[in-house]
Structure 1
Amino acid sequence: MRHLRVLSLSLLSLALSGPLHAVANPLPALIDAVSQRLAIADQVARSKLDTGKPVLDETREQQVLQSVQRAAADRGVPTATARTFFSIQMEANKLVQYGLLDAWRRQHHIPPPDKPDLSKLRSRLDELQGRLLDGLAATAPLRQDKDCQAKVDQAVTRYQLQHWQDSLHRLAQVRALGDFCNLPD
């Protein structure tokens, strides 16, 4: 128990140790958009459970990547950066879907009966695409910073202290942002 308190205090002090931001830091907004995208994975998984559709949908993934490539240039994001980032986001999203579907099957637990419409969920994901691209553009200087990974880790820790996430969503968030500082230009 003492170790848990020490860890909690250490995380809290890490989260509070950053400077007050006189200039807006675009990273928290990007992390929030990533987290919102991951939260939608719960409903996508439920829809796929109901319809029997597979998690892997290569046709949809290619549509997303083509859309991202078209929109990236308008927002000042290199195509390779956008394509890699969104491929990673889709991997993280599938991680959540597979995790939930597995848990529901193993526990013989069916989630609440709300039956999400996959086309509406995809529209919401498409809306988030613009926010994510804007976040990529705004955080481009950070990705060149030698302390990029430490800053991302600190921002993710802050986010996780402020927003409850289960272990599956925390892991997916780590996957979604783990290669952020190494995206191609």
Structure 2
Amino acid sequence: MSTFPRLPRLLFCALSGLLACSAQADETAPAPASLQPLLATMNERLNIGDLVALTKWDSHKPIQDSAREAQVIANARKEAVSRKLDPDEVAELLAAQIEASKLVQYGLLAQWQAAGRAPDVPRPDLGKEIRPQLDELQNRLLQYYADFAPYRKDPNCAHWLARARSTLIKDGLHGQALIRATGDLCIVDR
């Protein structure tokens, strides 16, 4: 008996299996409502990084501000306790936001250095305008994080995150930064 007549049937079974897997992947549970405001807040924070970069350009100050970063993370740890969140997880979340913002800042400064100038746009004051915005965003970020936290271990988390994140990306630099900001949002068993 020849195996040739079985080949179309095996091919049909294999293709059917692939189609079933593909259909199943598209039928994942919908993302929880808490994901979108969390990502929107992270994205808003990244966009404020553009303004921070302008202030760093004008002042010639370094992007790295270890004392300020430590203060932001310490404040977040305190807020975590009052919100019944794990302070270490919140510290990691804020550290990721800070690193993502610095990624944007370094990228923009490099672009402006190559062009020989920064954009000609109004410059807000870092201490009086930008930092209060960042503090307010941190409050919202922790609230949205608390709302989303129960879903971090869901097997669909990475899928939800990838889909939702793709709707917010405005360019390659900010896209990479948003990936960094959300990199540890889902907890995947390995």
Range class of TM-score, shorter chain:
0.7 to 0.9
Aligned residue number for residue 131 of structure 1:
140
Q: For 1:118-170, what per-residue CA distance to the aligned partner results, in whole angstroms no more than 9, with x for missing partners?
A: 1120110000001110111111111121221111112212334xxxx121111
Counterparts of 2:179 and 2:156 in 1: how far apart (Å)? Answer: 17
Aligned residue number for residue 49 of structure 2:
41
SS of 2:33's partner is: coil
Q: Does 1:180 align with 2:185?
A: yes
Counterparts of 1:29 and 1:49 in 2: how far apart (Å)? Answer: 30
Which sits farther off after the overlay, 91-100 or 145-154? 145-154
Q: Name the structure, 1 or 2, with higher relative contact order (CA <8 Å, separation 6+).
A: 1
Deviation at 1:17, TM superposition (A): 7.5
Check the 8 A contact 2:50/2:104 in 1, yes or no.
Answer: yes
Q: Which structure 2 residue ranges, 5 or more long, are not aligned?
A: 1-25
Aligned residue number for residue 62 of structure 2:
54
* One of 164, 175, 178 as aligned partner of 1:170: 175
Bigger Rg, structure 1 or 2? 2
Q: Residues 174 and 109 of structure 1: is their aligned pair in 2 closer, same or farther, counting only changes over 3 Å?
A: same
Aligned residue number for residue 70 of structure 1:
78
1:39 maps to amino acid: N
Check the 8 A contact 1:77/1:136 in 2, yes or no.
Answer: no
Q: Residues 126 and 113 of structure 1: is their aligned pair in 2 closer, same or farther, counting only changes over 3 Å?
A: same
Aligned residue number for residue 21 of structure 2:
none
Q: Which structure 1 residue ranges, 5 or more long, are not aligned?
A: 1-15
Which sits farther off after the overlay, 64-73 or 110-119? 110-119
Counterparts of 1:166 and 1:152 in 2: how far apart (Å)? Answer: 18
Check the 8 A contact 1:45/1:97 in 2, yes or no.
Answer: yes
Q: Residues 141 and 116 of structure 1: is their aligned pair in 2 closer, same or farther, counting only changes over 3 Å?
A: same
2:81 maps to amino acid: A
SS of 1:136's partner is: helix
Sequence identity percentage: 37
